[in-house]
Amino acid sequence: MATVGLGKGLPGFSLVFLKTRSGYFPDPVARIPLMKLIILLSLPLLTFPCTAAETGNRNVILRGSYSNSQLQFNIKKTGRVAFMGGSITQMNGYRPMVAARLQKIYPDTKFDFINAGISSTCSMTGAFRLRSQVLEKGKVDLFFIEFAVNDDQDAGHAHRECVRGMEGIIRQARRAQPQTDIIVTHFVNPGMLKALQSGKMPIPMAAHEEVLKKYGVSTIFLAREVADRITAGELTWKQFGGTHPGPAGNGIAAEMIGSLLGTAWGASKADAPKDHPIPGEMIDKGSYFNGTFLSPAGSANADWKWQVPDWKEIPGGFRSTFAGMKLLCADQPGRQTSVKFKGVALGVYVLAGPDAGVIEVSIDGGPWNRVELYHRFSRGLHYPRTVMFAADLEIREHTARLRLAKDSNPASKGSAARILQFTVN
């Protein structure tokens, strides 16, 4: 620790900054009369790290304004903060750390924190579940997103699919709630870390950055920060905690988020919320910005059952996230059903386990196309994933026919399909 001084911060606030090797740590909780400064300095700081002016870190990339969330938390004393991603978000990691620090900074604010993290899910699935699992919960003031790791190691998406998923989330959120402040964090796995250390940009991060730059959304480039610190001898992968970071790794993520918000809030002079701009042209017109779930209940028939599977009798691991949920189920080859939808794309959000099969799909009477449900992680787990049947269709009503194929992946032990939701764009 070094010197302590006063600087400009939130409107109407005096901030005390504790200068450390990592930056400045402010206490923006209350108005601080100068005469009571000596009392303040004897108290522990409520740390949401930031720098006095700019972040000073190439991995904390501030784009746009965060005045809307600041005004909401500080003036209206309420706030809804959503977190969406995979297991890194769902677990007890950076999400509760950030939530706790926000509550410390604004102790008189009533927060509603939404955990929309679902293990194994990618940005494409995120675009389809955004409406029901985040936006329909009410006005969201601050929205945190992470999907880089799952777009890589789980979905194995190409650049186009990474763009379509992330642009789908960002554009849909901006159109539905244009005053929502958004931050995207890039976490990291060993393969991505190796690529960054060799000067290469992993596909999901490159694709996501293309979207974030286009829409003026800030980046917490945690992956590159970890690479930088490891190269400098300041951190090891073991200390960070791995793909699912430990307390130290999640603490770095929370610290960087604090730096970004502290800088943005400290520089804000806004006295009223404003809509964030939405680009007229999209990066990819096929992005899932109209993504939504369509219940499969209406497709149930004699061949396909709408039911809660008896998971105890079905081989394979099962996550409690999906306990008690009804799914559209069939497990015999040749079983058929259909679904009507309006849009340009159709897919399914499924639980694909050890017995996952192949669905054959015909759109509007067209040829039958095979879509593999089995995933490399299906061997021992009923794995949540989204697979698309068709994209870039005409914008109109369509009818899709589905049937289970006679043959399955050689690694599969059956021909089953268990559909949580149809995905429609």
**pLDDT tens per residue, range 395-406:** 999 999 999 999
Q: What are the pLDDT digits (tens) for 55-84?
A: 689 999 999 999 999 999 999 999 999 999
Q: Which of 208, 233, 267 is the last residue of a domain?
A: 267
The predicted pLDDT at position 148 comes to 98
Residue 138 in any domain: the answer is yes
Q: Which of 267, 301, 330 is the last residue of a domain?
A: 267
Q: What is the pTM of this model?
A: 0.88
Q: In this structure, how many other beta carbons lie within 10 angstroms of the beta carbon of residue 313?
A: 6
Q: What are the pLDDT digits (tens) for 279-310?
A: 999 999 999 999 999 999 999 999 999 999 99
End-to-end CA gap in the chain:
52
Are residues 337 and 263 part of one domain? no
- CATH number of the domain that 183 lies in? 3.40.50.1110
Q: What are the pLDDT digits (tens) for 341-371?
A: 999 999 999 999 999 999 999 999 999 999 9
Residue 111: give the domain boundaries: 57-267
The predicted pLDDT at position 55 comes to 63
- CATH number of the domain that 401 lies in? 2.60.120.260
Residues 170-180: what's their mean pLDDT? 98
Residue 100 in any domain: the answer is yes
Query: Worst-scoring range by mean pLDDT, 5-9, 377-381, 412-416?
Result: 5-9
* pLDDT for 35 beyond 60: no
Are residues 167 and 105 part of one domain? yes
The predicted pLDDT at position 56 comes to 84
Are residues 323 and 258 part of one domain? no
Are residues 209 and 107 part of one domain? yes
* pLDDT for 8 beyond 80: no
The predicted pLDDT at position 54 comes to 60
Q: What are the pLDDT digits (tens) for 243-256?
A: 999 999 999 999 99
Are residues 348 and 262 part of one domain? no
Residue 204 in any domain: the answer is yes
| Closest-CA residue to 258 (of 119, 100, 114) | 100
Are residues 218 and 123 part of one domain? yes
Q: Rounded mean pLDDT of the chain?
A: 89
Residue 153 in any domain: the answer is yes
Residue 177 in any domain: the answer is yes
Are residues 81 and 121 part of one domain? yes
| Beta carbons of 60 and 259 less than 8 angstroms apart | yes
Residue 255 in any domain: the answer is yes
Residues 221-225: what's their mean pLDDT? 98
Residue 416 in any domain: the answer is yes
Are residues 63 and 109 part of one domain? yes
Are residues 242 and 104 part of one domain? yes
| Beta carbons of 361 and 371 less than 8 angstroms apart | yes
Tokens 């499969």: give the residue: 296
Are residues 144 and 99 part of one domain? yes
Counting the structural domains of the chain, the total is: 2
Are residues 188 and 95 part of one domain? yes
Query: 10: which DSSP letter?
Result: S
The predicted pLDDT at position 30 comes to 31
Burial of 408 (0-12, 13-18, 19+ CB in 10 A): buried
How far apart are alpha carbons 372 and 386 in whole angstroms?
Answer: 11
Are residues 194 and 84 part of one domain? yes
Residues 22-45: what's their mean pLDDT? 33
